[in-house]
Chains A and B, each alone.
Chain A
């Protein structure tokens, strides 16, 4: 639980921002958890009852859905502890994360009009390889145009966590690798020619 004083400071700071920006959408980033809300600070005049009601009104509706109740701050006692939703407003605590379960690298070996086949490896020397057929719609529109035979591809499977919501994700994309420059290609071709010419063939 956060120190009370910081909670109050954050609350007022955010309220000011809200009034300035009318950024109602930011409410959606708040995390509501049913727990004891210590409003003792309000008795000291730091947090006014009317402010709290006005501010929490929209948020509590969300909490209604979660809890099946209709808690309203104006019906709650302001002295001592009360049970209700708590808004964590330390913005640093909101984050997105992706936990990778499996990442495959591979090559497209067949492209058809609405599907493609790829050969995939979790580690480069894995044996046997995985062959999979995908709908072309699994790729983004820009990747669909370049998903040709011989194109490298990456497939990542994992969980993404966003503000307490976990989603299972399958992400497929074409790997962009830096192409060799014309000069590098020329030098490499010359090197191979030199080696081949230096070999006495029968």
Chain B
């Protein structure tokens, strides 16, 4: 039984000790970012979203707030996939972390991806930014760093690849569990279909359905195993998605903390993940997603997840904020013209999970909820 204690956090700016693991998950309703403290002052950042208060990448805001220097303490900046909601501010975060190695999905080494970024970056500046803008900036930064051997070598993540490790005690390693070889080939084929679209009126790459090339991470710090699910989805074919991850990792050490993939949606959930990769009744966290009328996790998603573990949390309610304008005439016109209008992201929350790295009795997870973070059961209609 995994021991946990939950609290409404009031010490958001208290940094972890060197002997503590921390997983901080931020999710404002459109976007997601995870920071992991691996002990001994080593941090990694997975994906990026914007801090509503400072408009900076949330990882930078948080590390600055707890007096951690991202330039020297961030070891890895990782993009699980290129969806706009996962990469906002990622280039700025990477530029601020000169000691960090950049990690992305192996499909990004393909000629198709380079061609796609090369052609779509000519779309010019788009309001709100785009995933292509972020990757184009990161590639420029990597090009600059390639001339200087002080910078760590970037890594393409694929199934089973070791991304980062620390041999000294407490030992730690970060390993990619996806994408599988088959997923990589399928994703590259999908990319090639997008070629040639950029000479039309579109200025943003259409959303790529099914995140089969998403990077899933397994993190080990001493005896603590954490599974970060990204946005990887399930497919019937066991060579793809979560079933490929299950087949490649069943029988290994079970994880005791889970970042639920794809904002809790049913298409990223499979019984075998819970039975073969995760310990029972473990703490699990997800982030909300609001996009038009899509709201994740839905009440059905919440019920399904809560049947698997009662210790399930979400960083905010998947509810948009109400539209307001400083000018009543504008507000009236907007409401008369649009069928539906909302502000996204609406709410913002942070869930922090800490645990002492101990080789003796199993320490408990301290789960602190900040902002609009809540227990998943609170999303269910009364």
Chain A interface residues toward B at CB < 8 A: 101-102, 105-107, 109-110, 115, 117, 119-121, 124-135, 138, 146, 148-152, 155, 157, 168, 170, 172, 174, 176-177, 179-180, 182, 184-185, 188-193, 195-196, 198-202
Are A185 and B140 neighbours in the complex by a CB distance under 8 Å? no
Which of A101, A131, A192 makes the CB contact (< 8 A) with B343? A131
Are B292 and A117 neighbours in the complex by a CB distance under 8 Å? yes
Interface of chain B: mostly helix, strand, loop or mixed:
mixed
**Stretch in B40-48, B230-238, B324-332 with 4+ CB within 8 Å of A:** B324-332
Name the A residues within 8 Å of B207 (CB-CB).
Answer: 109, 149
Chain B interface residues toward A at CB < 8 A: 30, 50, 52, 55, 101, 109, 111, 114-115, 117-119, 121-128, 136, 139-140, 142-143, 146, 153-156, 198-207, 290-293, 320-321, 323, 325, 327, 329-330, 333-334, 336-346
Q: How far is the CA of A152 from the CA of B199 in the complex (A)?
A: 14
Which of A121, A132, A148, A168 makes the CB contact (< 8 A) with B338? A132
Q: How far is the CA of A110 from the CA of B140 in the complex (A)?
A: 30
Q: How far is the CA of A110 from the CA of B118 in the complex (A)?
A: 24
- Which of A146, A150, A155 lies at the interface centre, i.e. has the most chain B CB atoms within 10 A of its CB? A150
Which of A125, A172, A193 makes the CB contact (< 8 A) with B111? A193
Q: How far is the CA of A134 from the CA of B339 in the complex (A)?
A: 5
Decide yes or no: A102 and B327 within 8 Å by CB, A130-B343, A201-B156 being known contacts. yes
- Which of B118, B125, B198, B336 lies at the interface centre, i.e. has the most chain A CB atoms within 10 A of its CB? B118
Q: What's the minimum C-beta distance from B283 to chain A, rounded to whole angstroms?
A: 29
Q: How far is the CA of A170 from the CA of B336 in the complex (A)?
A: 9
- Which of A105, A168, A199 lies at the interface centre, i.e. has the most chain B CB atoms within 10 A of its CB? A199
Are A107 and B127 neighbours in the complex by a CB distance under 8 Å? yes
Are B154 and A185 neighbours in the complex by a CB distance under 8 Å? no
Decide yes or no: A198 and B111 within 8 Å by CB, A128-B52, A130-B323, A192-B139 being known contacts. no
